Chain A
């Protein structure tokens, strides 16, 4: 049973560029959440997708956008990159209807470096 997978593992971009990160959830999961983790900090919630729609959003600008596909996989897009976007981007999947025990499984993350 494959867990949460993310691609690519590492990425280097320059300021002003755009980036797309990808996530495949754990088998059987239908909800995908994205988190940003700056160096030395805890992960910060970006947004969550369920049924191909953004359900809730953290305190991130519109430059951060996402998408969920019918197979539940998801993409995170960041436009107009700036140095402060350098971070580990984590994807977590869960099962929406299991509200009493909603463990989120995290992927290994994508390390984004903006130069």
Chain B
């Protein structure tokens, strides 16, 4: 079962920052928060992940609240190609086995 809650859709103007929220209030201490995105029914693409600290890579930044019950994915300068469904995922740890539990995702529309 999915363990995350995301808004179904968001809009963003091209060039502006896109801030995508995610609620994961039942997350366990050893579970990571992952973000993937899926463009037009292609396979999902990894964006970023984190456990407790904020993370940044070439694609995005991930801000995790201190109580770890929510997080925000930030695309600093959204482009039209960032239009996609964004999934916030809690990675279930189980004796070395990992699976991704996808929620409903947020459909981000970046407009000119």
Contact = CB atoms under 8 A, between A and B. Distances in A.
Interface of A: 4, 33, 35, 41-45, 48, 50, 55-56, 58, 88, 90, 92, 94, 96, 99, 101-109, 111
A42 B41 contact: no
A37 to B, nearest CB: 8
Interface residues of B, number: 22
Contacts of B43: 4, 90, 92, 106-109
Contacts of B45: 106
B42 A108 contact: yes
Contact of B41 (A48, A92, A109): A109
Interface of B: 2, 36, 41-46, 49, 87, 91, 94, 96-105
Contacts of A92: 43-44, 100
A91 B45 CA distance: 12
B93 to A, nearest CB: 8
27 contacts: A4-B43, A33-B99, A35-B100, A42-B102, A43-B44, A43-B100, A45-B99, A45-B101, A48-B97, A56-B99, A58-B99, A88-B41, A90-B44, A92-B43, A92-B100, A94-B98, A96-B96, A99-B96, A99-B98, A101-B49, A103-B49, A104-B46, A104-B98, A107-B43, A108-B42, A108-B43, A109-B43
B32 to A, nearest CB: 9
A55 B91 CA distance: 16
Contacts of B2: 42
B98 A102 contact: yes
A56 B94 contact: yes
B99 A105 contact: no
Kindly list the 7 A-B residue pairs having the minimum CB-CB distance in the complex, ordered from nearest.
A106-B43, A42-B102, A45-B99, A102-B98, A43-B102, A106-B44, A103-B46
Contact of A104 (B97, B100, B104): B100
A19 B8 CA distance: 33
A45 B100 contact: yes
Contacts of A111: 41
Nearest to B4: A42
A109 B104 CA distance: 19
